[in-house]
Amino acid sequence: MTDKLMPADIFVVYKNQILNDNDRNILTLLYQPIVGAEATNLYLTLWAFLDGVIVSKEKTHHYLMSVMHINVEKIVTARQKLEAVGLLKTYLQKDKQQYYLYELFPPLMPNDFFGNPILNAALKDNIGNEEYQRLSQLFISEKIDLSDFQDISKNFQEVFQIVNYQASESEYLKRESVNLQIEPQVDIEQVLTTISEDILNHKLISDSDKTYLQHLVYVYGLNAEYLKELIISSVNQYKKIDLLKVRKKSEKLFQYENDGKLPKIALQTQPENLRQKGGEVSNRNQMIYTFETISPRDYLILKNDGTTLSQNEQKILAYLLLDLKLNPGVVNVLIDYVLRINDNKLVQNFVSSIASQWKKEKIATVEQAMAIAEREFKKRKSYQKGTKKGVQQEKVPEWFDQKMTEKTPSKEKQAEIAKMLEDYR
């Protein structure tokens, strides 16, 4: 479980590279559509605390809340978004008081940003294709054909002479960026080994190439078979993978299978500011914690006893998270509810009818979702009694029992629940 941030907690800001006004433009025009205004404002505020120094003075998070006019939950959510896109790393030191160190990283240069499959797809999703094309033209200069020109530039050694001086690499500030971290979806090494050396020169494949391919797999939902086909069809005359071709073909394949839509980037778990605020240890609260801290994909796999999701299940999750934009924790409650009352089956029309109703009622938190599920279940039971027809007995989710809120589970039960959740903390 993550350590809860308190307003009294101290923090300092640190940078080990130079930030400039061009970074501000890139942050505002390219990153802000992805992470939102509050996350962008947090980055700029932390940057301002540096004020020409490498390490800022100590400040409390209460001061940060006052400056930004937002609560601590929103600061955590904004911080996590910056971490996710590689603009920030957070370190925690525990003593008598929690002490945070925020390390700022500069935005990627435009060429690197537009070349990153995840950031590129997320930007296009948020601003639309027309604005995306305008921004790409704004930041990426047009290449000039130099084939008829001769390069007559002097190199460094022809102009300068080094006189008895060796500079230590550590004396200079480096411009570094953080790689976007994702869990591997496909074994890239295994896919590459299945491609013959006659087609692909394996020696020309770098670690960054493999990371790029893993990002494509994540964004466009490619499986190993599709990825192999795309790689083979994108090898150039030098037997090297043309990564841009792979990306464009991945995008076309995704659009073909999704009625022309481009991929969207959705939150994986329930937002921090919409989670339960502590409380006693009970079965019900443990279930709430589960729903809030596990992604819908992983929760459905858990309900399927570890079985990989079917294409139909993936479409249902995409519909709930991306089309209806239900929060992940709410989707988890809905999945659990539907599986219990519908004989462990997820049927698109049945799920859609319930989800649409929850959307209309603006269900945002796990507790709200559990409450409406309980209410709807009681209506169903009342209707079934009224019809007096032999209806199959539906399983009641254990969290329907209101008395559970007051009941503290045994130590054995707590250990069992803790073991079940340990992979998601």
What would the pLDDT profile of 220-256 be if each residue is shown by its tens digit?
888 888 899 899 999 998 889 999 899 888 888 777 6
**Range of lowest pLDDT (87-96, 232-241, 288-297, 401-410):** 401-410
> CA 345, CA 341: separation in Å to the nearest integer?
9
Q: Which two tokens stand for residue 192?
A: 């590459």
Structurally, the chain folds into a number of domains equal to: 3
Q: Are residues 320 and 411 in the same domain?
A: yes
Q: Which residues contact 399 (CB under 8 A, 6 or more apart)?
A: 283, 284, 287, 288, 370
CA dihedral 416, 417, 420, 425 (to 10 degrees): -130
Q: What is the mean pLDDT of the chain?
A: 80
Of the candidates 82, 71, 6, which has an alpha carbon nearest to the alpha carbon of residue 47?
Answer: 82
Q: Are residues 92 and 235 in the same domain?
A: no
Whether 167 shows a pLDDT value over 70: the answer reads no
Q: Are residues 410 and 281 in the same domain?
A: yes
CA max distance for the chain = 99
The CA distances from residue 55 to 14, 17, 20, 41, 51, in Å, are 5, 11, 17, 19, 9
Q: Which domain holds residue 411?
A: 272-424
The CA distances from residue 260 to 163, 230, 251, 314, in Å, are 62, 19, 10, 17
Q: Are residues 398 and 303 in the same domain?
A: yes
Q: Are residues 201 and 303 in the same domain?
A: no
Q: Within a domain: residue 155?
A: no
Per residue in 243-291, pLDDT tens? 989 988 888 877 767 767 777 666 677 777 777 766 555 677 778 888 8
Report helix angle 283-293 to 328-341, nearest 10: 120
Phi/psi for 11 (5° steps) reads -145, 155
> CA 331, CA 234: separation in Å to the nearest integer?
38
Provide the CATH number for the domain around residue 45: 1.10.10
Q: Please give the average per-residue pLDDT across 78-93, as a whole number.
A: 92
Reported as a pLDDT band with limits 50, 70 and 90, residue 169 is very low
Q: Are residues 52 and 116 in the same domain?
A: no
Instruction: Pick from 126-130, 397-401, 402-406 the range whose average pLDDT is largest.
Output: 126-130
Q: Are residues 72 and 192 in the same domain?
A: no
Q: Are residues 118 and 84 in the same domain?
A: no
Q: Within a domain: residue 14?
A: yes
> CA 343, CA 337: separation in Å to the nearest integer?
11
What is the value of pTM for the model shown?
0.59
Q: Are residues 305 and 213 in the same domain?
A: no
Edge-first strand listing for the sheet containing 88-94: 59-60, 10-15, 98-104, 88-94
Q: Are residues 120 and 103 in the same domain?
A: no
Reported as a pLDDT band with limits 50, 70 and 90, residue 47 is very high
Q: Within a domain: residue 186?
A: yes
Q: Are residues 70 and 42 in the same domain?
A: yes
Q: Please give the average per-residue pLDDT across 118-129, as a whole number.
A: 89
Per residue in 30-46, pLDDT tens? 999 999 999 999 999 99
Whether 390 shows a pLDDT value over 70: the answer reads no
Would you state the pLDDT for residue 343? 84
Report helix angle 61-68 to 37-50, nearest 10: 120
**204 vs 421 pLDDT, higher one:** 204
